Amino acid sequence: DKVLPHEATVSAPVNIAVIKYWGKRDAGLILPTNSSLSVTLSQDHLCTRTTVCAAAEFGGDRLWLNGVEEDVTASARLCNVISTARKLRAAVEQADSAAPRLSTWGLHVCSENNFPTAAGLASSASGYAALVSALGTLFKLPQSAAELSRVARVGSGSACRSILGGFVAWQAGVEGDGSDSLAEQVAARAHWPQLQALVLVVSDRKKTVSSTAGMQTTVATSPLFAERVRNVVPRRMAVMRAAIAARDFAAFATLTMQDSNQFHAVCQDTFPPIAYMNDTSHAITNLVHAFNTAVGRVAAAYTYDAGPNAVIFALHDDMRTLVQLLTRCFPRPDSMPAAAFYEDPFAVFAS
């Protein structure tokens, strides 16, 4: 048993924040300035599948991303995640002298996205969540999902929320060591099965300002950001939790749109300003508002992360109409695969 390589494969999906994380109070430990809340999408469309293998004869750690080898030592965050997981494994070995010394062996990591990595979708969230979950399985770590989310957070902040399914809150925490900055499930996916998300791929170009660089400039220069952190987000976290608990779509959707708008307003208020949305994003926003006005209720919501791609939320019955409307207004270019389409419970739609 001691000489055989040990292996584990785990998949993790992307998540879409409805109360946005933007800003770090500690860049090294990735501690956020505010709490955030997200919906973890289904694994069918946007997920990362990661295999980790430990063997005594591996000289060192190696990583392949979508079949291409990357330099592990080039990424401090990746090294941090692996060494944190190794420390937790060492504790397992200390408690059980018969456990193979995996914490001292080399690791080979093989990670693949089931969507184009360059599509501007949240690949770091699913990527680090899959890696940490796979290491947790391989190392037989006793830690709960919430505890493992702390490890994923060190790789990429938003990744901590992808460790859990359904509706997930990432508590900013107050401790300097990050011990209370972790993700917890607010409600399971099954709590609200009628809620659906549609991903609209507006551009597959890489973003011009990374979230790390963007956040840093925002924290340093935006007065609107300071107001958001102090007075807006704490109240919104509570209202959003209540909307989810009550399955109140109008409240959920209104707050989702408002929080996306404020996040992008904060980016505009950053100096120099950051523009993640483009003309197509704004046209989608206008269409959603026109749709809500036409049906006389809040039937759809949009949200945008650090890029122009839109995620639309709607209840099942309205999503059919919305997909028809969106397909007519934003026809799919020939270059996009027809397979990327609307399907239950969550969909990817290319425009």
Q: Which residues bind ligand PMV (CB under 6 A)?
A: 17, 20-22, 36, 124, 156-158, 211-212, 305-306
Nearer to ligand PMV, 107 or 154 (CB): 154
What is the Cβ-side half-sphere exposure of residue 320, based on CA atoms within 13 angstroms? 3
What is the separation of C-alpha 83 from the centre of its chain, rounded to a whole number of angstroms?
Answer: 22
**Cis peptide leading into 272, omega within 30 of 0?**
yes
Q: Compute the least distance from the CB of residue 215 to ligand PMV, in Å.
A: 7
Nearer to ligand PMV, 107 or 159 (CB): 159
Nearer to ligand PMV, 56 or 146 (CB): 146
Q: Compute the least distance from the CB of residue 22 to ligand PMV, in Å.
A: 6
Residue 286: its H or E element: helix 279-295
Angstrom distances, CA of residue 255 to CA of 158, 251, 261, 267 = 19, 6, 10, 18
Nearer to ligand PMV, 102 or 154 (CB): 154
The token pair that represents 199 in the structure block: 């991903």
Nearer to ligand PMV, 110 or 233 (CB): 233
C-alpha to C-alpha distance for 49 and 52, rounded to whole angstroms: 10
C-alpha to C-alpha distance for 107 and 91, rounded to whole angstroms: 18
Q: Compute the least distance from the CB of residue 273 to ligand PMV, in Å.
A: 16
The token pair that represents 37 in the structure block: 């809340």
Nearer to ligand PMV, 212 or 217 (CB): 212
Q: Compute the least distance from the CB of residue 320 to ligand PMV, in Å.
A: 28
C-alpha to C-alpha distance for 304 and 257, rounded to whole angstroms: 9
The token pair that represents 130 in the structure block: 């899959």
Backbone angle region of 178, left / alpha / beta, with phi > 0 → left and psi within -120 to 50 → alpha: left
C-alpha to C-alpha distance for 171 and 133, rounded to whole angstroms: 20
Q: Compute the least distance from the CB of residue 121 to ligand PMV, in Å.
A: 10
Q: Compute the least distance from the CB of residue 206 to ligand PMV, in Å.
A: 13
Within 10 angstroms of residue 320's Cβ, the number of other Cβ atoms is: 12
Nearer to ligand PMV, 139 or 167 (CB): 167
Q: Compute the least distance from the CB of residue 24 to ligand PMV, in Å.
A: 9
